[in-house]
Amino acid sequence: MKTPIVPFADITRQHEMIQTELEAAVLGVMRRGDYIMGQAVQDFEADFANACGVAHGVGVACGTDAIALGLQACGIGQGDEVILPANTFIATLIGVLRSGATPILVDCEASTGLIDLAAAERSITPSTRAIVPVHLYGQMVSPTLLINLAATYDLLIFEDAAQAHLAEREGYRAGSIGLGAAFSFYPSKNLGAMGDGGMFVTRDEGVARQMRTLRNYGAPKKYLHTEIGTNSRLDTMQAAILQVKLPHLSRWNQERNALATHYQQALKPLIRQGISPMQNHVGSGHVYHLYIIRVVQSGEANFTCNLDRDTLLAHLEANGIQVGIHYPLPCHLQPGFQFLGYRQGDFPVAEKLATEILSLPIFPGMTRLQVEQVVSVLTDAIVQPVERLIPA
Ligand SMILES: Cc1ncc(COP(=O)(O)O)c(C=O)c1O
């Protein structure tokens, strides 16, 4: 592949804008020497929780730990059924399994890729204790529908908000709907560290206390171990970096939103060619962690594309446009998870989406011209005969 004309994401662009502040923050930690659970961790926990509209934040080593330990802190464990979508990153499923609970997968909506709440309702049994909505791609699952469902069946809501920092919908902010929520600070996330990092947020003081115990060898105080916890702390250096980046997050999210609007406009002529952008709910504060289009193949849709997704992907890559697939194989079909007993055909919408979705470049610092370049290469591919697509 040539040097990309448009990279999938370019984190260095973000950092260039705040380079001096970042360097001062890192140097500050180096000089203070409070490498484990230092001041920056406490400061960032408070500021991030506040940004989510909840009282408590507990920093952990990564988003997966925030799910696994967070569910445990919320009292979820063995014998409890937990509903989650099949269309998510595998970490959601790993987190549920690590909590000791039994995962119950459900299908997703074709238009958004988000969990299908009607399917979730049909999966509820007397053992169901919690639902884990994943605010996938940066768009929240409807808080009002979730709250109604949870109230009707006495379920706990635990949000996987790893892709949805500061997302909003129906007056709620991601992380503030349920008893607990998990965030990831993987470098390419909307708020990313320079390494791994994660955060659990909750409005409940007792749950927060339990989470602090779990992340620190099960110790509510030094050398007193009340349970088998683990070592999963947010690194002080990463917290200091995240603390510098947090005040810029709203602006970066707005940039992503503006780019998405530009894509939406530019892609309009391709809708008749079977290119269908994922739906953005009206009025939702989508933060576009990812910008997803569907390369629609035969089925329910009015328009179908003359190319399949993989051919289009190869054409884009060969012409300098880096793209991704989030995700190519749904959780229930992953080889390491066959023991759960799911089969091909169990979640037809998620399975079909996995063959049609394509993630286009989107990142703060990306230009409108780059959006147009992406759309132009896409257009080129769709209007040309297949044989001429990929240069020899
Ligand atoms: C939806 C979702 N859940 C959980 C995670 C896990 O986060 P981490 O990679 O920080 O463990 C991620 C990101 O990687 C994610 O995208």
Residue 331 near ligand 1, beta carbon < 6 Å: no
**Are 151 and 76 contained in the same domain?**
yes
Eight-state DSSP code of residue 37: S
**Are 86 and 217 contained in the same domain?**
yes
Interatomic CA distance for residues 33 and 390, integer angstroms: 54
Rounded to 5 degrees, φ, ψ at 174 are -55, 130
Cα end-to-end distance, the chain, whole Å: 12
Tokens found for residue 287: 């933060």
**Are 114 and 243 contained in the same domain?**
yes
**Are 43 and 84 contained in the same domain?**
yes
Residue with tokens 């997302």, as numbered in its chain = 167
- Would you place residue 204 in the very low, low, confident or very high pLDDT band (cuts 50, 70, 90)? very high
**Are 325 and 234 contained in the same domain?**
no
- Would you place residue 55 in the very low, low, confident or very high pLDDT band (cuts 50, 70, 90)? very high
Contact, 166 vs 155, CB < 8 A? no
Interatomic CA distance for residues 352 and 58, integer angstroms: 37
**Residue 243 above 80 pLDDT?**
yes
pTM beyond 0.85, yes or no? yes
Which is nearest to 40 in space by CA: 182, 242, 219? Answer: 242
Assess if residue 5 is contained within a domain. no
CATH code where residue 77 lies: 3.40.640.10
Residue with CA at minimum distance from ligand 1 atom 7:
63
| Ligand 1 atom index nearest CA of 196 | 10
Q: What is the pLDDT of residues 123-147, one digit of tens each?
A: 999 999 999 999 999 999 999 999 9
**Are 290 and 371 contained in the same domain?**
yes
Residue 367, C-beta contacts closer than 8 angstroms, at least 6 positions apart:
none
CB 109: neighbour CB atoms within 10 A? 20
Interatomic CA distance for residues 115 and 105, integer angstroms: 10
Average pLDDT along the chain: 95
Contact, 49 vs 55, CB < 8 A? yes
For the chain, the residue count is 392
Q: Is 102 helix (H, G, I), strand (E, B) or coil?
A: strand
Residue 174 near ligand 1, beta carbon < 6 Å: no
What is the chain's alpha carbon radius of gyration, rounded to the nearest angstrom? 21
Interatomic CA distance for residues 320 and 328, integer angstroms: 21
Assess if residue 229 is contained within a domain. yes
Report the domain count for the chain. 2
H/E stretch holding 312 reads: helix 309-318
Contact, 195 vs 59, CB < 8 A? no
**Are 232 and 280 contained in the same domain?**
no
Residue with CA at minimum distance from ligand 1 atom 12:
162
**Are 229 and 122 contained in the same domain?**
yes
Which is nearest to 19 in space by CA: 362, 248, 256, 259? Answer: 248
Residue 162 near ligand 1, beta carbon < 6 Å: yes
What range does the domain containing 124 cover?
Answer: 11-248
**Are 260 and 349 contained in the same domain?**
yes
Residue 25 near ligand 1, beta carbon < 6 Å: no
Tokens found for residue 115: 């969990």
pLDDT, residue 303, reads 86
**Are 233 and 297 contained in the same domain?**
no
Residues 303-330 have a mean pLDDT of: 96
**Are 104 and 218 contained in the same domain?**
yes
**Residue 4 above 80 pLDDT?**
yes
Last residue of a domain, one of 231, 248, 265: 248
